[in-house]
Amino acid sequence: MRIATWNVNSILPRLPRVLEWLGQTGTDVLCVQELKNTTEAFPVEPVRELGYEVAAYGLGRWNGVAILSKAGLEDVTRGLTGEPRFDGAAEARAIGATCGGVRVWSVYVPNGREPENPHYAYKLEWLAALRATVAAELGAERPFAVLGDFNVAPDDADVWDITAFAGSTHVTPPERAALAALRETGLADVFPRPLKYDHPFTYWDYRAGNFPNNRGMRIDLVYGNAAFTGAVTDSYVDREARKGKGPSDHAPVVVDLAL
């Protein structure tokens, strides 16, 4: 089974690239983030023509998540247990489903903006709700994984230059502690094996030179339980999908499993 996660940075303009990528890679399950449209506006039919079932969750804001699956799509859950709101509004940032016996969650963790911004406190509250949701579901022995854009670099080596992030979100101790608390529920980081670079980043800002010079971050993660990680045969960041005309600023992270 091949499972992947990809922040597409708006599904509608990126749809041709997503369809082409799915056709080329034979991915069985794709977790998608940052749809930037509503559930009803998700382009279901073109995806179904490739053989995928679709579970989407979007509210038309700067978020939205989905799961595309050729391996079945059951027990769909939209939102987290005790999920906080921001400025009184709900945001579509998490969707779970069971695909071919594997339970997956596609998540788009809030950015946080700046440590002094209310969005940062919301980010930490959201990560706590994610931990509570995961802890409640991990009782079963089935393979389980949380995939998506976590907007946190787990370690200093996961950014191109830690000094460039002084005073910024994504690298602060509270954010990293929240990731550690999530792993402590029984999950482990499926660290991508690099194809070319020492540090397999997953996100590069659009500014000129960042991608070709590999000034990036590893913030798109796959956290799995023992039944999931024990079945991993390969994992990588597909940098090729970040190239060309009109790409997302994220690359897909791909995991192959022997199940």
Q: What is the pLDDT of residues 111-122, one digit of tens each?
A: 999 999 999 999
pLDDT of residue 61: 79
Q: How many structural domains does the chain have?
A: 1
pLDDT of residue 13: 96
- Arithmetic mean of pLDDT over the chain: 94
The yes-or-no verdict on residue 212 having pLDDT over 80 is: yes
The yes-or-no verdict on residue 194 having pLDDT over 60 is: no
Question: Per-residue confidence at 128, pLDDT binned at 50, 70, 90?
Answer: very high
Mean pLDDT value across residues 214-232: 95
Q: Tell me the residue range of the domain where 185 lies.
A: 2-257
Residue 101 phi, psi dihedral angles, 5° rounding? 85, -5
The yes-or-no verdict on residue 7 having pLDDT over 60 is: yes
In this predicted model, what pLDDT tens digit does every residue of 8-60 receive, in sequence order? 999 999 999 999 999 999 999 999 999 999 999 999 999 999 999 999 999 98
Q: Between residues 192 and 87, which one has the greater pLDDT?
A: 87
Q: Report yes or no on whether pTM surpasses 0.75.
A: yes
How far from 10 is each of 36, 41, 65, 125, CA to CA, in Å? 5, 12, 10, 25
CATH of the domain at 151: 3.60.10.10
Regarding beta strands 144-149 and 102-108, do their DSSP bridges make them parallel or antiparallel, or are they unpaired? parallel
Mean pLDDT value across residues 92-110: 98
Q: What percent of the chain has pLDDT over 90?
A: 89
The yes-or-no verdict on residue 252 having pLDDT over 80 is: yes
